[in-house]
Structure 1
Amino acid sequence: MHPNHTSDPQRVAVRWRGLLAALSVLVLGGCASVYRVDNAVESFPRWNDVAGGTRLAVAAPQRPQTYRFDRLPSQTEGHQAAGQDRLEELARTALGKVGWHQADGGAPPSWTVQVSASSLRLPHAPWEDPWDHHWGAFGMFGRGHVITGSGQIIWSPMFLHTDWPYYQRKVSLLIRHAGSQQVVYETHAAHEGRWNSTPELWSAMLDAALQGFPTPPAGVRQVNIDVPR
């Protein structure tokens, strides 16, 4: 055997120590008062674009402003409509923080806002080896086998699976001039991680998407929002 070669039991021991370290981080993280939602945000202000043949009255509107929500046909039926109701409620709060308020009754709004969200659940993080999530009854599983505490290799198709899903989420807001329907502002926030879906997480993403509104910096930027547990 080459002197620099690491045996299977040694590799398993290293992997075991790595998993214990990861579990320790999770346990200690559970004692923290907040968790961080890190977002990749990109915004596209177009307040000066031509609207209906004329320039908009303001380059970047000053608060307060009024708006109404606008929906795609797919957001108006069945469970999609119920989910959209909840998403718009969260967006209403986020927009209120930047001085925008939903128009009351039949009052004509100055703008329309379309909000959307998506979530993709993966069985594990893209960079992880899926075999790292399998544990044996007598030890940790390697690739198709179990290695016991004494180093004995037992080949077996049976295994237990630990599910550590990974989520890729995105929220988007599209603002139009109500009179001309000209798009004047577009913004997106994307977040990846293991946190479960909660209203607080989506609220943090919406807050991040509106960071710097109505004149955000150009390009993709990272916006971190700390969420109380």
Structure 2
Amino acid sequence: MALIRWKLSLTVLGCAALLGGCASVRDVQSDVQSFSTLTALPAPPTYRLELLPSQQAQAPQFAAIEAQAQQALARVGLQRDDSQASLVVQISAQARYTRDTAYYGPYGPRWNWGLGFGRGAGWGMGMGFGGFMFDTPPLLHYRAVSVVMREQRTQRVVYETSAVHEDVWTNDPAIFGTLFDAALSGFPNPPQGPRQIRTPLPVSGAAPAAAPVPSVQPVPVRP
């Protein structure tokens, strides 16, 4: 009996550690599309950030997204210098939500499992940790960013990239920084066209569905 209790304790502790690890890092999948005519970093590697009138009107709410974009640009070797810029950079960010219509199977709502040791079928019940049943489809949080770069001298577009992420979980504004990093991956010579990038995003405690950044208020999308 004592041996059984000891093994059960180890199992519970192992599951708790695994769940804790899952809660501390989130794998963010971004759908990225990039197009570039650049062959190297511009000389000097500087840019001027050009904000749209709507973005200027939303200051200082847009400042959080602007800061995330500037940090991502710095990580690929570009520095903001509005007076001596080689590039003109425009950024955008979107946030909205919709219902996961794929949540419904042919027999009604399906089970949404976290870490499980079994699975349900139809309206049956299986065993698992973090299993839930919803009477309505869960919300999907859509987040997207884009970056467009033009030559300061000619105003010709030389770089265009975007990144999109959709999940039942979100964490604004950190998620926008992750998307800007994904969008700029490979700069200045990224793979042309669409690709997927996975980025581990550290989170503290359970991953909450955080309130959206005020400058990009989510709106429901009707099918």
Distance 1:173 1:93 in 2: 13
Distance 1:60 1:127 in 2: 43
Question: 1:85: which partner in 2?
Answer: 63
Percent identity between the two aligned chains: 39
Deviations 1:109-168 (A, max 9, x none): 11111000111211x3131129639xxxxxxxxxxxxx9xxxxxxxxxxxx967831112
Question: 2:194: which partner in 1?
Answer: 220
Question: 2:24: which partner in 1?
Answer: 33
The number of equivalent residue pairs is 165
Question: 2:94: which partner in 1?
Answer: 118
Correspondences of 1:138-153 after superposition (within 5 Å): none
TM-score by length of 2: 0.65
Unaligned runs of 5+ in 1: 1-23, 48-58, 134-146, 148-159
Question: 2:109: which partner in 1?
Answer: 132
Distance 2:71 2:163 in 1: 16
Deviations 1:170-224 (A, max 9, x none): 1000001112211110001011101223222111111000001100012211111
Deviations 1:78-121 (A, max 9, x none): xx3333322111011001101101116xx321111100011121
1:100 is aligned to 2:100: no
CA shift, 1:64, in A, is 6.0
Contact 2:73 2:79 in 1 (8 A): yes
Correspondences of 1:182-193 after superposition (within 5 Å): 182-193=156-167
Distance 1:215 1:224 in 2: 19
Contact 2:103 2:138 in 1 (8 A): no
For 1:212, what is the secondary structure of its paired residue?
A: coil
Contact 2:144 2:176 in 1 (8 A): no
What CA RMSD, in Å, does the superposition of the two structures yield over aligned residues? 2.9
Question: 1:141: which partner in 2?
Answer: none
Distance 2:62 2:149 in 1: 16
For 1:170, what is the secondary structure of its paired residue?
A: strand
Match of 1:74 among 54, 59, 79: 54
Distance 2:136 2:20 in 1: 19
Match of 2:169 among 185, 195, 198: 195
Unaligned runs of 5+ in 2: 1-14, 111-122, 124-133, 204-223
Correspondences of 1:25-64 after superposition (within 5 Å): 28=19, 31-47=22-38, 59-61=39-41
For 2:61, what is the secondary structure of its paired residue?
A: helix
Distance 1:132 1:65 in 2: 53
Higher radius of gyration, 1 or 2 = 1
Contact 1:60 1:214 in 2 (8 A): yes
Alpha carbons of structure 1 residues 30 and 196: separation in structure 2 relative to 1, 3 Å: farther
Distance 1:193 1:29 in 2: 20
Contact 1:44 1:187 in 2 (8 A): yes
Deviations 1:6-29 (A, max 9, x none): xxxxxxxxxxxxxxxxxx9xx937
For 2:109, what is the secondary structure of its paired residue?
A: helix
